[in-house]
């Protein structure tokens, strides 16, 4: 009885499990069959698709948008591998989009990554070919070439550096730098010794420089005061008065009759000469009135000398108008 019950339960479990499994298979199969998709193609030329299988995902900027439904060799070109992509209906694929082969983690599995495309470009119609992009192998090859070139440059530089001539130059250069360093060290020690020995002189020099700077400051202040005084004097009324007086004197000198004065002096000299001639005649005729004439002549000469001296000392006397006096020759005429 117990064995029969166990068999019944086992049969029920098997039936239910089979039914669920069949339902799931039918569900996913029907889903795949009735799900709408857009088909696109990608053709890779001389590119290995190792690690890529039917059912591998297709991503658009990291988002799953479909799967690889078929992988085949182009019968017209055996170097071309054609991938058939089944994408979700309505996936926006632009004409300038590219399909790259990317790696999925460390498993070695490959997938298709659709990248690129601009908003201004038209949409690519289904059943069209998407432009092939770069593959992982080409990227690795390109990077390997760059790395190899850099390694080659490094090796060439190492060969140049390790050349015997270069090593000898480096050795000589290092020796020169060592000598320069030792010379600089000795120079610094000498400077330190000189500074220590002449420390008092340096202090005295600095003190003298400080005193000189203070003296220069005091002198500059005195010069500034003097300049300000001169400026006040120039701007004062006294300078203007002096200039005005000098201008008046020059104007009066121009207005005075200097020519007439010179003519008068010439007349006096002429009359003096006539007087001398007359005195000479008187001496010849006799000694009467000789002493008086001689005194009068001396007085006239003194007056002329005095007048000449005063005019030389003070030319402004020519401007003054003096009253006429009787000249000695006029007295003689009287």
Run of H or E residues at 44: strand 37-45
Percentage of the chain modeled with pLDDT above 70: 75
Question: Judging by DSSP bridges, how do beta strands 98-104 and 80-88 pair with one another?
Answer: unpaired
Alpha-carbon distance of 93 to 131, in angstroms, equals 11
Residue owning tokens 């002449």? 198
Q: Are the C-beta atoms of 131 and 96 separated by less than 8 Å? A: yes
The residue that leads in pLDDT, 301 or 50, is: 50
Tell me the pLDDT tens digit for each residue of 181-231. Answer: 888 888 888 887 877 877 777 787 888 888 888 877 888 888 888 888 777
Structure tokens at 23: 């339902």
* Distance from the Cα of residue 139 to its chain's centroid: 45
Residues in the chain: 334
Mean local confidence (pLDDT), 174-187: 85
Q: Is the pLDDT of residue 292 over 90?
A: no
Question: Worst-scoring range by mean pLDDT, 22-26, 48-52, 191-195?
Answer: 191-195
Check whether 251 has a pLDDT greater than 50.
yes
Closest CA to 99 of 84, 112, 83: 112
Residue 85 CA to residue 66 CA, distance in Å, equals: 7
pLDDT tens-digit readout, 319-330 = 554 444 444 554
Start-to-end CA distance of the chain, whole Å, equals: 205
Which tokens belong to 263? Answer: 């003519």
């Amino acid at each position: 009885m117990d064995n029969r019950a166990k068999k019944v339960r086992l049969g029920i479990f098997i039936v239910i499990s089979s039914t669920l499994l069949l339902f799931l298979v039918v569900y996913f199969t029907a889903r795949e069959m009735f799900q709408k998709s857009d088909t696109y193609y990608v053709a890779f030329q001389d590119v290995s698709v190792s690690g890529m299988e039917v059912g591998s995902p297709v991503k658009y900027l990291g988002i799953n948008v479909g799967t690889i439904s078929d992988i085949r060799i182009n019968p017209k070109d055996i170097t071309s591998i054609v991938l058939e992509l089944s994408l979700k209906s309505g996936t926006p694929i632009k004409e300038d989009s590219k399909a790259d082969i990317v790696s999925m983690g460390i498993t070695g599995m490959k997938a298709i990554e659709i990248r690129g495309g601009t908003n201004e470009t038209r949409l690519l119609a289904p059943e069209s070919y998407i432009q092939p992009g770069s593959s992982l192998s080409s990227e690795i090859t390109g990077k390997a070439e760059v790395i190899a070139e850099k390694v080659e440059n490094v090796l060439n530089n190492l060969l140049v550096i390790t050349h015997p001539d270069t090593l000898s130059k480096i050795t000589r250069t290092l020796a020169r730098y060592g000598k320069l360093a030792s010379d600089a060290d000795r120079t610094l020690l000498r400077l330190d010794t000189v500074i220590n020995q002449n420390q008092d002189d340096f202090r005295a020099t600095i003190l003298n420089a400080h005193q000189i700077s203070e003296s220069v400051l005091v002198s500059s202040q005195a010069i500034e005061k003097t300049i300000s005084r001169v400026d006040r004097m120039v701007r004062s009324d006294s300078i203007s008065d002096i200039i005005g007086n000098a201008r008046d004197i020059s104007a009066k000198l121009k207005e005075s009759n200097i020519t007439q004065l010179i003519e008068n002096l010439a007349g006096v000299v002429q009359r003096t000469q006539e007087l001398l001639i007359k005195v000479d005649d008187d001496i010849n005729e006799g000694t009467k009135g000789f002493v008086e004439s001689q005194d009068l002549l001396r007085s006239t000469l003194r007056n002329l000398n005095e007048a000449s001296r005063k005019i030389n000392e003070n030319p402004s006397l020519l401007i003054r108008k003096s009253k006429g006096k009787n000249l000695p020759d006029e007295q003689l005429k009287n």
